[in-house]
Amino acid sequence: MSEYIAEHVPDGPRARTRNGVLRGALKDGVASFLGVPYAQAPVGALRFRAPEPAEAWDGVREATDFGPTAPKRPYAPPLDALLPDPEVAGDDCLNLNVWAPWPASQEGPDVGGRPVMVWIHGGSLKHGSSAVPVYDGTAFARDGVVLVSLNYRLGIEGFGVFPDAPTNLGLRDQIAALTWVRENIAAFGGDPDRVTVFGESAGAISIAALMASPLAKGLFRRAVMQSGVPSARSLDAARRTTEVMAARLKVPATAEAFARVDPERLLAAQTAVTGKGNPVLSGHAFHIAVDGDVLPDHPGDLLVDGASADVELLMGTNTDEYRLWFVPGGHTEKVGSVGQRLLLRKGRIPPDVAKVYRAGRPQEKPGEILGALAADKLLWMPLNMFADARVNTRGAAATYMYEFGWPSPVLDLRACHALELGFVFDTLDRPETRALTGPDAPRDLAAAMHAAWVSFAATGDPGWRRWDQARPVMTFGPGLPSLVEAPREAERRAWDV
C-alpha cells in the first residue's frame, strides 16, 4: 500500500489517505469510515462550479458519522413512508463512506487488494443520499468487499443547465469521487484496479453516463445497472426545467441569479415544478445533458458504438417496476379503458403492442396493463436492446441480465421499483428496508442475490450464463433463483415493429 497505510489501534481503526489520517469505527471485523470529504463544499465561490479536490487536514479526522447530504426535500406522501430519505445538515455534502474488512491487510488470493464496489444512489436526480440505512455496507465488507457509497449534488444544484456554469455537476461529482477512490482506496485494503460501480434508478442512469463519458475512462472495471437505462437529453431539452423554475422564481435562468436565491426558496420552487411527475407518467424532471464535455453524445449511442465495451456489465429490472408509482397513489384503480387508450396514445405505445399485453394479462386492470407497458418501454426493452448490442460488439466483455420478481405484500406493491435494494445489500433486518418489504422477506433470496453481486465484483461472473442469443435471465423470486431463457418473449417481440 506504499505510503497509504491502514492502522489498527485501540481507539479505533485508522486509515492514512492523501488528505490526512481518518479514524473510523470497528464492529465485528468491519471498519466504517463515514462522511469523508472527496471534494470541497460546493458553496460560496464554488457553488454551481465543478468540484474541487478536498483540502488536506492536520491530525486525525473523526469519521464516525454520516456527512451532510445534498440539498433536497423528502419524498412526497405516500412515498415518504416507503422510501426513507434522511437529511444531514451542513455544507460539505461532497462526501463518501467506506466499509472495509479489518484489518485492511490480508493474506491469500486478495493480497494485492480486495474488490471494491462504489454505490451511486437513485432518487430521480433530486432525492436520496448515501446515508439511507438500506445502503449500509456492512454485509459487503463482511463478505470481503470494500464498499464505498457517495453523495453528489442533486436537483437544480447538480443538474440545472445554465449559460454561465458547467453542466452535469452531479456527474462531475461522481467522477471526482471515483478519482478519490482510485487514489485512496488502497488505504482501506481495496484494489484500485478492481472497482465495480453499481447503482439503481437514477444511479443506474448515472452509471450508463459514466460508461459513456471520456472523463470517467479507466476509473472502474465493472458496472451494475439496476432499474435504469442509458438516458440523457439535449442541452435545450435539459434546460427546460431550469427555465420553468426561473419563471416561477422571477429571476433570470442563470447560475449567478439562482445563487442569490435563498436555498429554502429554491428547494420550494424545485418541488413545485418537479413534484407532480414520476418516471412513468413524466412531467418536469432533471436530466443528464449531452453537453459535448462530460457527454459528447447520447450515452445510448456511445455505448452501442462500443464505449466501455471492455467493462463487464450486470443489469436488470424488477417484474412490477411501475407499482411503486401507480399503486400508492391509486393510479391502478383510477385508470379505466378510455383513460388507458388516451395515455397509450400520449406515450406513443403502438396499439398492437398493447393488444399483446392485454391478451397475456387477462386478469389485470387497465391501469396495471398501462403501467406494465410504460415500465417495459422505459426499462426492460432498452436494457434488452443494450445487451443485444453488447453481444454484437466484437471483443466486448461479458454482459449478464437479471430480473427481481419476489412480490412484496406491502400495499400489494409486488416486485416494484427499488424493492431489490434490501436484498442486494442484505439489509432485510433494517426497519427502513421493511417499510417496503414487510417483516417476512426471504433471507435465502437476499443471501443469493447479495452473493451474486459480491461474486461479480470479485470475478466478473455473478454465477450464471452470460447474455447470448438465447436471452438467459437469472430470476430472483418468487421461489428459488432460477435461470430463465427469454422471459415474456411474446411481449418483447411485440415491440419489434
Q: Which grid cell sits at 22?
A: 481518518
Catalytic entry in 157, 312, 321, 403? 321
Q: Which grid cell sits at 319?
A: 417484474
Query: Cα–Cα distance between 67 and 95 in angstroms, integer?
Result: 6
Given the DSSP bridges, would you call strands 312-318 and 222-226 parallel, antiparallel or unpaired?
parallel
Catalytic entry in 127, 287, 298, 417? 417
Is 8 one of the annotated active-site residues of the chain?
Answer: no
Nearest CA to 184 out of 59, 50, 307, 38 is that of: 38
pLDDT at 281: 64
**In the block, which residue shows the cell 456527512?**
67
Reduced 3-state DSSP string for the chain: CCCCCEEEECCEEEEECCCCEEECEEECCEEEEEEEECECCCCHHHCCCCCCECCCCCCEEECCCCCCCCCCCCCCCCHHHCCCCCCCCCCCCCEEEEEEECCCCCCCCCCCCEEEEEEECCCCCCCCCCCCHHHCCHHHHHCCCEEEEECCCCHHHHHCCCCCCCCCHHHHHHHHHHHHHHHHHHHHCEEEEEEEEEEECHHHHHHHHHHHCHHHCCCCCEEEEECCCCCCEEHHHHHHHHHHHHHHHCCCCCHHHHHCCCHHHHHHHHHHHHCCCECCCECCCCCCEECCCCCCCCHHHHHHCCCCCCCEEEEEEECCCCHHHHCCCCHHHHCCHHHHHHHHHHCCCCHHHHHHHHHHCCCCCHHHHHHHHHHHHHHHHHHHHHHHHHHCCCCCCCEEEEEECCCECHHHCECCCCCCHHHHCCCCCCHHHHHHHCCCCCHHHHHHHHHHHHHHHHHCCCCCCCCCCCCEEEEECCCCCEEEECCCHHHHHHCCC
Query: Cα–Cα distance between 126 and 75 in angstroms, integer?
Result: 10
Nearest CA to 313 out of 230, 216, 225, 201 is that of: 225
Cβ–Cβ < 8 Å for 404, 312: no
pTM for this prediction:
0.96
Is 282 one of the annotated active-site residues of the chain?
Answer: no
Nearest CA to 179 out of 54, 21, 32, 295 is that of: 54
Q: Give Cβ neighbours of residue 94 (< 8 Å, ≥ 6 apart).
A: 37, 38, 39, 40, 41, 42, 51, 54, 151, 152, 153, 173, 176, 177
Query: Cα–Cα distance between 63 and 92 in angstroms, integer?
Result: 13
Q: Which CATH number fits domain 6-331+397-494: 3.90.1150.10, 3.50.30.40, 3.90.76.10, 3.40.50.1820?
A: 3.40.50.1820
Q: Residue 129 burial (CB < 10 Å; 0-12/13-18/19+)? A: buried
Q: Residue 377 burial (CB < 10 Å; 0-12/13-18/19+)? A: middle
**In the block, which residue shows the cell 436565491?**
261
Alpha-carbon dihedral sign for residues 415, 420, 423, 427: negative
Is 201 one of the annotated active-site residues of the chain?
Answer: yes
Query: Cα–Cα distance between 223 and 207 in angstroms, integer?
Result: 7
pLDDT at 108: 47
Query: Cα–Cα distance between 321 and 298 in angstroms, integer?
Result: 24
CA dist list (Å): 422 to 65, 107, 181, 482: 21, 31, 24, 20
pLDDT at 10: 59
Catalytic entry in 130, 201, 206, 408? 201
Domain locations along the chain:
6-331+397-494
Residue-level pLDDT, tens digit, the chain, 497 residues: 334 445 545 589 999 999 999 999 999 999 999 999 999 999 999 999 999 999 999 999 999 999 999 999 999 999 999 999 999 999 999 999 999 999 987 554 445 699 999 999 999 999 999 999 999 999 999 999 999 999 999 999 999 999 999 999 999 999 999 999 999 999 999 999 999 999 999 999 999 999 999 999 999 999 999 999 999 999 999 999 999 999 999 999 999 999 999 999 999 999 999 988 677 666 899 999 999 999 999 999 999 999 999 999 999 999 999 999 999 988 898 898 998 889 899 889 999 999 999 999 999 999 999 999 999 999 999 999 999 999 999 999 999 999 999 999 999 999 999 999 999 999 999 999 999 999 999 999 999 999 999 999 999 999 999 999 999 999 999 999 999 999 999 999 999 86
Would you give the end-to-end CA distance of the chain in angstroms? 55
Q: Count CB-CB contacts under 10 A for residue 66.
A: 18
Query: Cα–Cα distance between 305 and 246 in angstroms, integer?
Result: 37
pLDDT at 279: 73
